A = this chain, B = another copy of it.
Amino acid sequence: MQVLDRVAVWRKALDAERAAGRVVGIVPTMGALHDGHASLIERAAGECDVVGVTVFVNPLQFAGGEDFDAYPRVLEHDEAVAAAHGAAYLFAPPVEEMYPRPVETVVSVPSLSARWDGEARPGHFDGVGTVVTKLFAQAGACRAYFGEKDYQQLCIVRRLVADLDLPTEIVGCPTVRDPDGLAMSSRNAYLAPEERRVAPLLFRSLQTGAAVLAGGGSPEECRQAMHALLATEPRFSLIYAEPVDPDTLDPLAAALPTGGSARLLAAARLGRARLIDNLGVTR
């Protein structure tokens, strides 16, 4: 596996792969690779001829007071994980290579960005949209693999790719979970042992809400069921738990018709960690 840190070298390498007729897959990450990332890399390696993992902790997507400085940076570990799961390249540019001058350009999808995680994290999704557009422009035509774990992010990335006709095919992949149901996340490392023990309640609340909707319950009944379950654990501080339209992310307006689909989104603070999770449901 080649480890690169210069945009020009990375671009040239992928151009050469395409020129040789190979399909390129990329897995954009912020590093601290866990089994969720590993599953994306393996999926990409199974579907593409050559896979590049990008590792970049993007300052644009952290609001003031967030954990940009504390975010784990473990490049040697990331190299080992990427290589073990089939990546041919790891591209890990320093901040000054990605942003050699202050970034004045913003790529945003306001209708999908202002709500849910965007409400608590002003500017977060504009930072995501901008860096993802830049990573795609550097990589050129490719498939790009994203986890469904960050569902709102996935919706925004799909939308900007469609709106801007970027030559990128977005592949959304199922969330990978620990055996007790907790969605894998680099931020789980912030949990103290007793917090880690109760953390799966977030996913169980989503399963409970999904059962309500699947049984014909109303959005309000679904919401109440999720809120009630999370309220049983005082360590959790709920941010939101809501059934939404899977494309527009609008709050669900009515019970699902037979065959109808929704997405349940939830976010909560647990100790130092801000956890998010989501679950699809079809009636």
Binding site for B on A (CB under 8 A): 7, 11, 101, 103-112, 129-130, 133-134, 137-138, 140-141, 159-160, 162-167
Separation of A140 and B104 alpha carbons in the complex (Å): 23
How distant is A140 from chain B, measured CB to nearest CB, in Å? 7
Interface centre among A103, A159, A163 (most CB of B within 10 A): A163
How distant is A90 from chain B, measured CB to nearest CB, in Å? 18
Separation of A109 and B103 alpha carbons in the complex (Å): 9
Chain B residues closer than 8 Å to A129, beta-carbon distance? 105
Given contacts A7-B165, A165-B137, A165-B138, contact A160 B105 (CB under 8 A): yes
Separation of A140 and B133 alpha carbons in the complex (Å): 14
Whether the pair B165, A105 counts as a contact (CB closer than 8 A) is no
Whether the pair A167, B137 counts as a contact (CB closer than 8 A) is yes
Which of B109, B165, B166, B167 meets A104, CB within 8 Å? B109
Name the prevailing secondary structure of the A interface residues. Answer: helix
Chain B residues closer than 8 Å to A134, beta-carbon distance? 163-165
Nearest to A138 among chain B residues (CB) is: B165
17 A–B pairs (Cβ distance < 8 Å), ordered by A: A7-B165, A101-B162, A104-B112, A104-B159, A104-B163, A105-B129, A105-B160, A107-B133, A107-B164, A108-B108, A130-B163, A130-B164, A133-B164, A137-B164, A137-B165, A137-B167, A138-B165
Chain B residues closer than 8 Å to A166, beta-carbon distance? 137
Which of B106, B162, B163 meets A108, CB within 8 Å? B106
Whether the pair A105, B137 counts as a contact (CB closer than 8 A) is no
Separation of A162 and B164 alpha carbons in the complex (Å): 17
